[in-house]
Amino acid sequence: MFQLISKSTIDKVFETSRVEEVIGDFVQLKKSGSNFKGLSPFSDEKTPSFMVSPVKQIWKDFSSGKGGNVVAFLMEHEHFTYPEAIKYLAKKYNIEVEETERTDEQKKEANERESMYLVSEYAQKYFHDTLLNAEDGKAIGLTYFKERGFTNETISKFGLGYSPDRWDAFTSEALKNSYQLEFLEKTGLTIVKGEKQFDRFKGRVMFPIQSMSGRVLGFGGRILTSDKRAAKYLNSPESDIYHKSKVLYGIYHAKQSIAKEDNCYLVEGYTDVIQFNQTGIENVVASSGTALTADQIRLINRLTKNITVLFDGDAAGMRASLRGIDLILEQGMNVKVCSFPEGEDPDSFAKKTALEDLVLYLQENAKDFIQFKASILMQEAQNDPIKKAETIRDMVNSIAKIPDRIKREVYVQECARIMDISEEVLFNTLAQMGKKELRDANKKLKQEQKAFDVVKNEEQKPVAKKVDVQYELERKIIEILLLYGSEEEEFEELILKEGEDGELSLEPETYSAKVFEKLYLDLQQDEVELANQSFQKIYYLLIDKLNKEGQVTTETFVNELDPETSNAVTTILMTEEQHTLHDWERQNIFVKSKETTVSQLVSETILSLRCFLIDQKVQHLMNNTNENKAENNPHILEEIMNYHQLKMLLSKKLNRVL
């Protein structure tokens, strides 16, 4: 039976959660006025476009358009369902989750990804329980981990386990517990051959692979027998929840330490991560035996700009791993490299080294990538001039990957010093590489253009994007209601009066009213319905809430909305935060604070909307006049003139020239 979380628990979670604390676990945030900013976790970018508002308890990613409250972030970033996000927050803030039963029918309706997560989480618990409590688990699996030097606390922390050496031990148990074969197969835990099913990880010790938030995505299994036909390590196959090129082993346990230390140690294997962690160095992750990918590097980039790559002592392994450094440099990261003594790897070295000594070793032996690459390649080149030239070209090729020009120049100077060669030669080589890349890019572009040149189109000037005036004004109305709806303001009402000579004029009258009442009554009087369906929905929700409760708290209001509406509201609320992202004040562009002129803002918005609607009405009347002869429609012409006169009066009030 699934469980349904009670409303009281959900309310408590929202009251306790702090959006900046939760997002800070996944994104490196920096203070920016009263807000925080950081690199978007949803796109690859070099300058921050991600804003978090502690006051409003919302976030907005201006690069992807996503936004919302703390739950929306977890659903977007970690692909949580709503209940999962609530449970994650409850666990983070030590809130007891009250639940009510969910029917079997509702269980069947759970989406496929969720079912795969549930199967993976069940498998992790099963393997861990087998390791600790089953006779073969203790005799084989636990003995292996103890021999590696892992403590009970470490085994528990990383959820290590053991899969029995029987064909369908896990699968049979999972099916008995009502887990569907379809999802056992889709996660790769079970292999199905016709009518038979058997366990993929039979007879292996198990390493759960977790997402940044701790969800079990897949497994790595190590065989303990000397069967040459079987792979030593076996990973879960690719699935809807597990993409090995986008996952780093240990990231869940390392994320906070990486952000705090502003550095990430990158190793190769599961046991390297675990042993370092047990010694006391937690900011370490592994690529799990796969070649390092750009997605994995970007995962680290969200937490720090600094990576220290830890290599095994053997030269062959170091030479192969050098290829990953160029990929890290391309992402604009700072790279250091540290190798261990001959025959040692991070696991074995950390196992026999005290924390203080290990920290000292890493500090003293972590070299800048250019120094490390030079030392490795020069050992191979020795006194061979041709090989030395190839080595220099290889190093310059790495430098060329760095996007920052200042860093490139510094590395060229360092390379010239180490390799005893003039900077001019290196700069020329770098320039040649740049020209070659440019030529290749131009060649590709010309080929693409040629393919489209079969039928040539006449050149057209780019059309400027037309501003949707009504959309912007309606958005402004929602923004005013959200920020100032409950405030009492002095308004100057323009009363339309006809003089003795028949001339129309607007005469001001001052009165006091709440902002939401002013907006609602004016729109009612003009019989205006918001055209944008999303705005219309938000408008009536706000008016109803303000009318009943007298005020709207943005963080609680956002929490009551569906994801789509919540995103729309967040976008409106965070629009002003873009000013801080662009740092306009530093460029002597000063954005006027809305709080100082709320009544003026309200009045101008309503007057602008009226002017816009008058234009629309006039255009409609003119279209009717064009279809029929003007002399047959004197009343239409008179109406057009009256609207023009009214717009002149409104524009005068707005201080606009027509």
Note the pLDDT tens digit of each residue in 428-439: 888 887 665 545
H-helix or E-strand containing 46?
none
User: Within a domain: residue 459?
Assistant: no
User: Within a domain: residue 457?
Assistant: no
Q: Are residues 18 and 55 in the same domain?
A: yes
Taking the C-alpha atoms of residue 242 and residue 216, their distance in angstroms, rounded to an integer, is: 9
Taking the C-alpha atoms of residue 640 and residue 621, their distance in angstroms, rounded to an integer, is: 7
Note the pLDDT tens digit of each residue in 165-215: 999 999 999 999 999 999 999 999 999 998 899 999 999 999 999 998 888
User: Within a domain: residue 305?
Assistant: yes
Average pLDDT over residues 558-579: 78
Q: Are residues 287 and 374 in the same domain?
A: yes
Taking the C-alpha atoms of residue 315 and residue 312, their distance in angstroms, rounded to an integer, is: 8
**Is pLDDT at 124 greater than 60 in this prediction?**
yes
Q: Are residues 638 and 489 in the same domain?
A: yes
Q: Are residues 628 and 490 in the same domain?
A: yes
If phi > 0 it is left, if psi is from -120 to 50 it is alpha, else beta; for residue 300 that is alpha
Residue 52, beta-bridge partner list? 36, 59
If phi > 0 it is left, if psi is from -120 to 50 it is alpha, else beta; for residue 117 that is alpha
Q: Are residues 196 and 261 in the same domain?
A: no
Q: What's 217's domain CATH number?
A: 3.90.980.10
Number of domains in the chain: 4
Helix (H, G, I), strand (E, B) or coil at 310: strand
Q: Are residues 101 and 120 in the same domain?
A: no
Which range has the worst mean pLDDT, 281-295, 321-335, 584-598? 584-598
Please indicate whether residue 261 or residue 492 has the higher confidence score (pLDDT).
261
User: Within a domain: residue 436?
Assistant: no
User: Please, which pLDDT band fits residue 562 given cuts at 50, 70 and 90?
Assistant: confident
pTM for this model (two decimals): 0.64
In this predicted structure, what is the pLDDT of residue 448?
Answer: 44
- The secondary structure of residue 366, as a DSSP letter, is -
Domain boundary (242, 274, 305) is at 242
Domain boundary (242, 267, 283) is at 242
Helix (H, G, I), strand (E, B) or coil at 265: strand
Q: Are residues 96 and 137 in the same domain?
A: no
Q: What's 80's domain CATH number?
A: 3.90.580.10
Please indicate whether residue 146 or residue 630 has the higher confidence score (pLDDT).
146
The residue range of the domain holding 644 is 469-653
User: Please, which pLDDT band fits residue 73 given cuts at 50, 70 and 90?
Assistant: very high
Residue 196, beta-bridge partner list? 193
Q: Are residues 311 and 405 in the same domain?
A: yes
Q: Are residues 481 and 627 in the same domain?
A: yes
Sign of the Cα torsion 566, 568, 573, 579 reads positive
Query: What percentage of residues in the chain have a pLDDT greater than 90?
Result: 30
Task: State which amino acid sits at residue 343.
Answer: G
In this predicted structure, what is the pLDDT of residue 317?
Answer: 57
Note the pLDDT tens digit of each residue in 337-366: 998 988 899 999 999 999 999 999 999 999
Q: Are residues 533 and 604 in the same domain?
A: yes
User: Within a domain: residue 434?
Assistant: no
Note the pLDDT tens digit of each residue in 84-115: 889 899 989 999 888 766 566 555 555 788 88
User: Within a domain: residue 447?
Assistant: no
Q: What's 357's domain CATH number?
A: 3.40.1360.10
User: Within a domain: residue 453?
Assistant: no
User: Within a domain: residue 464?
Assistant: no
Whether the Cβ atoms of residue 273 and residue 286 lie closer than 8 Å to each other: yes
Rank 20-34, 106-120, 449-463 by mean pLDDT and report only the highest.
Answer: 20-34
User: Please, which pLDDT band fits residue 452 given cuts at 50, 70 and 90?
Assistant: very low
Domain boundary (105, 140, 155) is at 105
Backbone φ, ψ for residue 114 (5° rounding):
-60, -40
Please give the torsion angle defined by the CA atoms of residues 186, 189, 192 and 196, in that order, rounded to the nearest 10 degrees: -150
Please, what is the angle between helix 515-525 and helix 598-627, to 10°? Answer: 10
Q: Are residues 511 and 410 in the same domain?
A: no
Note the pLDDT tens digit of each residue in 591-630: 445 445 788 788 778 778 777 777 776 676 666 665 555 4
Helix (H, G, I), strand (E, B) or coil at 213: coil
Q: Are residues 288 and 306 in the same domain?
A: yes
